[in-house]
Structure 1
Amino acid sequence: MAVGEEYKTAFQTHSGHYEFCVMPFGLFGAPGTFQGTMNHILGPFLRRFVLVFMDGILVYSKTLEDHVQHLQQLLSLLQQHQLQVKLSKCSFAQRKLAYLGHVISSEGVATDVEKIKAIQGWTTPANVKELRGFLGLAGYYRKFVKHFGIISKPLTELLCKNTLYVWTSEKEASFQALKKALVEAPVLTLLDFQKPFTIETDACDYGIGSMLLQDGHPLAYLSEALGPRNCALSTYEKECLAILMAVEQWRPYLQQSRFTIKIDQRNLSHLDDQRLTTPWQ
């Protein structure tokens, strides 16, 4: 705790008045403060060979020699700031590990088997609260599922305000299809800024989707169900919308160099030669 701020944590017990000298669990601003502190301390290493979320620190390296050096730098920095690590909770020189609900290896990033088991065993939601819980967990892995937004549309419709919660065969089919898609989710390849990016887009009557690839391997999927207004657009316009969505979402990866867009609509390949006459163009 900052000097002079300890009184804000004061509490009374039968044995007297107490104040925390260090930040405890449960304070409203504790998570944000702790994350900010970790980001500040590890700032010189972040995104170079360290990732951190709260007290979970991930060190990644190309070779074992680099890994040893990175660990030495990290542990030295933690020691300088009087931060301690518990050896029993540390894993060193791992080729595969689980981190924040993902399994990371040299092959790429995969979903955590234990989390997917929880989704697979999820019973039919009986109310909006249970449905929100399911979609919240499933949505965490939406980048692994092609057309996630389209598949889940019948379910998300139940979350709309003033909508009667009625579980129909269409909702059940969407529920089961989403669970199946998550169980069969592919391993996403690791991003490499030395390789060119490719975007593939498609559109259907009620949704749009796109995929970010390198060397033909998917890095992430993106999709969105369309509302009534956008459903009325032509296929040409929906494909335009899919491209805009993809470029906006993945702009940090794409803006550094040229990239390729693969589309189903041949007409879009002549967009540069056309006179712009519609808002979508």
Structure 2
Amino acid sequence: MGIYEYTRMPFGIKNAPAHFQRMMDTIFQEEILESWMVVYIDDIIIYSETWEDHVHYIDRVLSKCIPINQKFSLKKCNFGQQELLAPEHKVSGLSLAMDQNKVAAVVQKPVPKSIKEMQSFLGFASYYRNHIKSFAHITSNAAFSQGLGEALHQIQIVDVEPGEGVIFYISRQLKDSDAKYGATQTECLCLVWALEKLHYYLEGAVFEVYKDCTALKSLLRMKTTNRHTLRWKIATQEYRGNMTII
């Protein structure tokens, strides 16, 4: 008889990922707050604008790991990369793209032959819905004719690819409760839904909103006691967006 104790985090324990993530966040709290490091469980991404900063950041991370006996597998490490695969996406300084191996897996999937297989396929393909324009409309059933859709663009300020670049496409079908809204209210619903969906990108940022509904501006400015409109007005007031009618 004796005491059995793990010396490393074992697989299969329900709370293991959350516990490990909390430990990593505590260890690298300063680095994460300085916004040059991202930690996702046992994956660490260090990013910088210059090579000198990159070397300095790597040195800081490794120096912090030595006293606590934290080890890395060298064959799993990549240094000085201009692009990399971070959970299922290809990330670079200019873009966030789909992993072509995952795209090939979707393309090569057999044609669904039952409702269950169709549901499985849609769930599988939905992982990359942010990269597919009007995904909700494309995958909707034949009886469905309306939905919400927006796109988040960023003006490129580098010489490599001047112009606008798409960051995300977002879309969803209209719910039964949304069918009672008129055209202007639906436009407002779409705006508020998009702001909430893209909150982490837009919070604190100055941005432009392009809409083709002139009445939308009036709806957000008018005095009203309608609870839906009031909620939408309050939701838009926390953002620094400027609306342009096109």
TM-score by length of 1: 0.70
Matched residue, 1:25: 11
Corresponding residue for 2:110? Answer: 123
| Residue 101 of structure 2: aligned partner | 114
CA distance in structure 2 between the partners assigned to 1:34 and 1:100 by the alignment: 17
C-alpha displacement of 1:232: 4.2
Partner of 2:135: 148
Matches within 5 A, 1:177-256: 205-215=145-155, 216-256=164-204
- 1:129 Cα offset (Å): 4.7
Shift of 1:110: 0.3
Q: 1:126-171 deviations in whole A, cap 9, x for unaligned?
A: 44554444333322222112222222222xxxxxxxxxxxxxxx59
Q: How many residues of Structure 1 are paired with residues of Structure 2 in the alignment?
A: 219
CA, structure 1 residues 265+88, in 2 after alignment: closer, same or farther (shift >3 Å)? same
> CA shift at 1:92, angstroms?
0.6
- Unpaired runs of 5+ residues, structure 1, are 1-5, 8-17, 155-169, 172-203
CA distance in 1, matches of 2:113, 2:184: 39
Aligned to 1:57: 44
Per-residue deviation, 1:116? 0.4
CA deviation digits over 1:6-34, x for unaligned, max 9? Answer: 96xxxxxxxxxx55343311122212211
1:141 match: secondary structure? helix
**Contact map agreement 1:142 1:221 (CA 8 A) in 2:** yes
Identify if the C-alpha distance between structure 1 residues 146 and 228 changes in structure 2 by more than 3 Å, giving closer, same or farther: same
> How far apart, CA to CA, are the structure 2 residues paired with 1:33 and 1:219?
32
Mark the CA change 1:145 to 1:83 in structure 2 (over 3 Å): closer, same or farther. same
Aligned residue for 2:31, secondary structure, equals coil
Q: SS state of the match for residue 34, structure 1?
A: helix
Seen in structure 2, the aligned counterparts of structure 1 residues 23 and 143 have a Cα distance that, compared at 3 Å, is: same
**Distance change >3 Å, CA 53–CA 136, structure 1 → 2:** farther
Paired residue secondary structure (1:37): helix
Q: Compute the TM-score of the two structures, normalised by the length of structure 2.
A: 0.79
Q: Which amino acid aligns with 2:148?
A: I
Opposite residue 251 of structure 1, the aligned amino acid is: H
Tell me, in whole angstroms, the C-alpha distance in 1 between the residues paired with 2:76 and 2:201: 34
Counterpart secondary structure, 2:45: strand
Alignment correspondent of 2:65: 78
Which region of structure 1 is more displaced relative to structure 2, 266-275 or 83-92? 266-275
d(CA) in 2 for partners of 1:258, 1:21: 49
Shift of 1:74: 1.0
Q: Once superposed, what is the RMSD of the aligned Cα atoms?
A: 2.5
Identity of aligned residues (%): 31
CA distance in 1, matches of 2:120, 2:39: 26
Cα separation, 2, equivalents of 1:75 and 1:21: 21
Higher relative contact order (CA 8 A, sep 6+): 1
Q: What is aligned with 1:42? A: 28
**Deviation digits for residues 46-81 of structure 1 (CA, Å, limit 9, x no counterpart):** 261111212111111111111111111111112222
Distance apart, 1:239 and its partner CA: 0.5
Output the amino acid matched with 1:55: D
Deviation at 1:205, TM superposition (A): 4.7
Contact 1:142 1:148 in 2 (8 A): yes
Distance 1:40 1:129 in 2: 43
Supply the AA of the counterpart residue of 1:234.
G
